[in-house]
Amino acid sequence: MTFLFGGHETTGSTMSWVFTMLNDRRDIAHRIRQEYSQVVAKHGSLSTWEAADELKLTLAVIQETMRLRPTVYQFLPRRVQTDDNLPTMDGTSVCITKAPQLIDTTTIHRNPKFWTNAESFEPDRFLEGTEAWMADLELRGGKPHAFFYLPFSGGTMNCIGYRFALAEMQIIVAMFLSQFEVELTPTANTNPLFTGVILRPLNLEVTLRPVDVPTA
């Protein structure tokens, strides 16, 4: 039941942001269609984990979308039991008082100390070996993006369904874009709407146009 219902709103909101981001990046949407065509030509469908795992660009687009627009934009507060000093990466420390503390994922995800061109939508930063990926890695002193990137929290207590959610979104986004061109309408309002701990577009209104799947 957790897998079926727990991620319904968060997954839907994330895919809303994916199509919002791609509205201005038709070149990336085209690359996703090419990727889909190649994977289906090889496997016959996306019905296996092996096939879905080869949708690397589609996954990178979802990951970059969640970096800029994390659906869960902050974690539930935790109360610190005693005052303490929290060491930081640059060698300094931050005083943590005996009070509720929040982790704001949006701030971490857009911090230029950890991400090059932090405000830009660059899915290639999640494709290992690309120029954008190397630039981010160098900026972080060779450290991977774990704990600089927290759409599903982190550590042993992270989201139990994150792998399922990513695979689900990969398949849906790739299959949807293989059939439709998605364009925001003039009346669409993509300003963020905060509902509890969920972040979604205020009014995602789109026009769908059939497209031909490009050949590999």
Q: Is 159 annotated as a binding residue?
A: yes
Q: Which two tokens stand for residue 114?
A: 């950890």
Residues 6+ apart with CB under 8 A from 172: 15
Provide the H-helix boundaries in the chain: 8-22, 26-43, 49-53, 56-68, 105-109, 131-139, 162-179
**62-64-68 Cα angle (round to 5):** 115
Contact predicate 57/127, CB 8 Å:
yes
On the CB side of 187, CA atoms within 13 Å amount to 2
Cα dist. 27→14, 30, 216 in Å? 20, 5, 15
Binding-site residues, in ranges, read 159
Binding-site residues for heme, in ranges, read 159
